[in-house]
């Protein structure tokens, strides 16, 4: 699972960019995602991405493609990215 928390310049613009990047997430093994906005600031966004394969999730999070897509969509500053592994 990857959790990304960041500020965006404009949520509707960012959301279009996020939606346009869906094929890349699926190709990396995405099984489910959640897009969340802060209640008091719609430009504070948290994205929760569930992946079936930890190595593929890690590679996706580190990819230049993801960084370029985030920049193009209007992410402001450095995002907080957390890669988590379910322990059973």
For the chain, the domain total comes to: 1
Residue-range definition of the domain harbouring residue 53: 2-83
Q: What percent of the chain has pLDDT over 70?
A: 100
The domain that holds 8 is classified in CATH as: 3.30.70.100
pTM of this prediction? 0.87
Within a domain: 88: no
Please enumerate, as own/partner, the contacts of 64-68 that have beta carbons within 8 Å and a separation of 24 or more: 65/24, 66/21, 66/24
Residue-wise pLDDT tens digits, 12-52: 999 999 999 999 999 999 999 999 999 999 999 999 999 98
């Amino acid at each position: 699972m990857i959790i990304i928390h960041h500020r965006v310049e404009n949520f509707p613009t960012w959301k279009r960019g996020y939606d346009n990047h869906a094929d890349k997430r699926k190709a990396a093994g995405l099984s489910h995602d959640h897009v969340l906005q802060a209640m008091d600031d719609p430009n504070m966004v948290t994205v929760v991405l569930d992946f079936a394969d930890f190595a593929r999730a890690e590679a996706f999070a580190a990819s230049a493609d993801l960084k370029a897509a985030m920049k193009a969509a209007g992410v402001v500053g450095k995002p907080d990215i957390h890669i988590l592994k379910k322990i059973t």
